[in-house]
Amino acid sequence: MNFIQGFKMAIKSILSNKLRSLLTMLGIIIGVTAVIALVALGQGATKSVKEQVQSLGTNLLTVNILGRGSTNTLSGTDAIAIGGKVNGIKYTAPASTQSTSVKFNTTSVDVNVVGTNADYALVKDYKVSSGRFLVQIDLDVYQKVAVIGSSTATELFGFTSPIGEYILIQGTRYKVVGVLAEKGSSTTGSNDEVVMIPLTSAERLFKSKGVRTIYVQVETTEQIDNVVTGLEKELSSHFRGNTDSYRVFNQSDALSTLTSVSDTLTLALAGIAGISLLVGGIGIMNIMLVSVTERTREIGIRKAIGAKKRDILIQFLIESMVLSGLGGVLGIGIGVGAAQGASKAFNMDIVFSANIILVAFFFSVAIGVLFGMFPANKAAKLKPIEALRFE
């Protein structure tokens, strides 16, 4: 008896008892559905976290200046100077941010006003959609110019071009010289509701010397650790050994922490789903055992007319394999549907990986073989005379 013949027999036997077959498969279906859907959602969450962190800029270090006592003692020029002393730094963008209201004619919005330099756009991966970004000369001559985010532009100016118009920031007139391209939102909020002005003008406007934050772009990922050490050394000497005055925050550390958290979560979900697959397998074994008892006479007849042990074993093994494999296929279908439904309903990201789908399928087939082995062996070992006599 060949495999295809056994396969046909198994399909026939499964179809002859549709409701029972479906109920038997249910355990596997639920298990595979859970694996596919939960892993898709888990990986989707991992991906969106990664993307959000990466949208802040890759190879990005953030230096927070907490200051010493009541004074704020790192000026923009000092920050640039420190950046110049450490090897491996590509861009240094000191920033002084304040949330304030910005007005155009009678419209007014609350946005983050960032005082910074030309490197800021490069570090934060901003693109200019019209006009220009800040340049060094703006800082040098305390220009009152502003570059505004795309959302802010729409809110203040509607569909008219903001370039060349004047906006009021805390009562001071600033000329709009550029509009940024849309960037989307991240964990820290919208990146498009922003107004950027030269750092020197900002210091005057906010009446505060020094910067609170320095964004540093490192040349390559491998240099991040060196740059962190270098920056800490320079800052330490600047603040005379007071390490509480500053923090160097590593973006990729945060990324790996977040990723490992969501990876662990995915693994835990997959584990729970795997257990339900195992329970499904036990369900299959249970039904196969009942089926063997029920079909003792059939086994006897088959053996009497020449079926060998192996033929009966293969027949029942294929049957349980087809049951669980079919359950796996249905589960994959329902799982993909469920994940897509959930992602639409709750606005979540999902990621399907072919690996997980293949693993789920082969795992369910393997469960069929594993849990079918005992009943199939029981069937194969029946003595033909006794099986024939069975009522």
310 binds other proteins (CB under 8 A): yes
268 binds other proteins (CB under 8 A): no
| Closer residue to other proteins in complex, CB, 67/384 | 384
> For residue 236, which amino acid is it?
S
257 binds other proteins (CB under 8 A): no
Q: Shortest CA distance to 199 belongs to which of 122, 145, 129, 124? A: 145
What are the structure tokens assigned to 93, written together?
């963008």
> For residue 66, which amino acid is it?
L
71 binds other proteins (CB under 8 A): no
265 binds other proteins (CB under 8 A): no
| Closer residue to other proteins in complex, CB, 158/306 | 306
Q: Buried (b) or exposed (e) across 15-53, using 16+ Cβ within 10 A? A: eeeeeebeebbebbbbbbbbbbbbbbbbbbbbebbeebb
Residue the block writes with tokens 């969106």:
48
Rounded to whole angstroms, the Cα distance separating 53 from 360 reads: 31
Tell me the chain's radius of gyration from C-alpha atoms: 33
What are the structure tokens assigned to 28, written together?
């596997």
| Closer residue to other proteins in complex, CB, 5/188 | 5
Map residues 279-298 to x or -, x wherever contact with other proteins holds by CB under 8 A.
Answer: ------------------xx
> For residue 59, which amino acid is it?
N
134 C-beta neighbours (distance < 10 Å), count: 26
164 binds other proteins (CB under 8 A): no
311 binds other proteins (CB under 8 A): yes
Which helix (H) or strand (E) is 209 found in, with range?
none
16 binds other proteins (CB under 8 A): yes
To other proteins, the closest distance from the beta carbon of 304 in angstroms equals 6
To other proteins, the closest distance from the beta carbon of 288 in angstroms equals 17
In sign, the C-alpha dihedral spanning 176, 180, 182, 185 is negative
1 binds other proteins (CB under 8 A): yes
3 binds other proteins (CB under 8 A): no
183 binds other proteins (CB under 8 A): no
To other proteins, the closest distance from the beta carbon of 302 in angstroms equals 7
Applying CB under 8 A, which residues contact other proteins? 1-2, 5, 12-13, 16, 297-298, 300-311, 384-385, 388
